[in-house]
Homo-oligomer: A and B are copies of this chain.
């Protein structure tokens, strides 16, 4: 039973083989969804830029949402959250990029409610609260009603890849690429599809740090259970990426489940609920990681895994604290392992752990170059050359073993580079 302290004690995660990634999947891959994006002219310098996005389900969908915990939250967040509270149903979504409609007081709320009404009229929704409304962009600026109305006129909903792509583009702000993923699995012998589209700049962009993710599925899912599944998937994906310590005023993840796949409604008694949860978690992780990869100024994608922790929450606290630490992030930019900063961040994470048997490994288990730098709190000598080689890669993996339980968690982040400061010191104008 002798085992090096740097070796993991957890089991490898089992991915159900029934869940298939759809290489060319998009937000309209699940049955009954259509979408489009239009240029409403919110960016005076780029009038041709798509900045108004609409998503529609031919059947009213069970819906759930997870919203920013920032007390200073934007008007559309308040309005959409209130709408979901009414029936946990949505049929459509209207999102503008350019103005965040945050810090806009009563006027901001009025415009968000008006956006619901105008979308209800255009798409003949049964209720205004079947329309989710979102905004992302500069804080403190009201979206222009006339531009929204004119932009909406240009929307031509479609279910093809082209329409889905226009939707995904229209929600972006300073992102450099669209972020999409899709999975398919079988439930009750029926093919069920999940897809998502996200925008977000990691922690990188000055006034537009909002993270938005919209998920569609044709599965039938019991509404309260859908909320529970979304919350746990967000916890293991979007809540595990470093967002610079600051949650934006507009952060939102929404899921619409329209039931057109024809499966029996998924709840905790359904035999396949765990497969569905796993697919949803994989989808959310794909989108979260895509946000990190698109972090402007970033030169590295960093994964920190904490294993053998007393609880998943403790493991997650440690992993998140490490990927969020400026001292760690600058060390990664400088390609310096500097494990003291990792240990320091673990000690500060707030997790209820002991640090007496802390081990730190650079590189994955199956990487012949992997090196253990701290072994049960004893510094190990290692080849600086190997460490430099591992750290010169664009993707870095660090494993922290706490040696005190069976729980683990991953977090993803990037380095803090000179470009990060240059980008964020730019003027608003």
Contacts and interface: CB of A to CB of B under 8 A. Distances in A.
Contact of A334 (B103, B339, B347, B424): B424
A407 to B, nearest CB: 17
A248 B344 contact: yes
Interface stretch (A51-59, A87-95, A203-211): A203-211
B71 A347 contact: yes
B249 A347 contact: yes
Contacts of A422: 418
Given A327-B246, A340-B102, A346-B72, A421 B427 contact: no
B348 A103 contact: no
Nearest to A70: B347
Interface in A307-349: 324-327, 330-331, 333-334, 336, 338-341, 343-348
Interface stretch (A4-12, A155-163, A254-262, A352-360): A352-360
Most buried by B among A325, A336, A344, A345: A344
A191 interface: no
A73 interface: yes
B348 A206 contact: no
Contact of A426 (B102, B334, B358, B377): B334
Contacts of A397: none
A126 interface: no
A47 interface: no
A394 interface: no
B72 A331 contact: no
Contacts of A379: 103-104, 140
A368 interface: no
Within the oligomer, what is the number of copies of this chain? 2
Contacts of A203: 326-327
Given A203-B326, A336-B427, A343 B72 contact: yes
Given A245-B324, A330-B424, A207 B340 contact: yes
A348 B246 contact: yes
A275 interface: no
Contacts of A246: 325-327, 341, 344-345, 348
Given A103-B379, A421-B420, A72 B347 contact: yes
Given A425-B334, A427-B334, A249 B418 contact: no
Interface in A373-419: 374, 377-379, 416-418
Given A245-B245, A326-B245, A355-B72, A424 B331 contact: yes
A82 to B, nearest CB: 16
A333 B425 contact: yes
Given A103-B340, A244-B326, A424-B334, A354 B417 contact: no
B424 A326 contact: yes
A112 interface: no
Contacts of A71: 346-348, 353-355
A304 to B, nearest CB: 15
A94 B105 CA distance: 57
A285 interface: no
A87 B378 CA distance: 32
Contacts of A97: none
Contacts of A245: 245, 324-326, 348
A428 interface: yes
A331 B207 CA distance: 10
Contact of A327 (B325, B348, B416, B424): B424
Given A69-B348, A72-B344, A139-B343, 20 more contacts: A72-B343, A100-B340, A209-B327, A244-B325, A245-B324, A246-B326, A246-B327, A246-B345, A246-B348, A249-B340, A330-B420, A333-B425, A334-B427, A336-B426, A338-B428, A416-B424, A418-B418, A418-B421, A420-B421, A421-B421
18 contacts: A70-B347, A102-B340, A103-B340, A103-B343, A139-B344, A203-B326, A209-B327, A245-B245, A245-B348, A247-B348, A248-B344, A249-B343, A249-B347, A326-B424, A330-B425, A334-B425, A334-B427, A416-B424
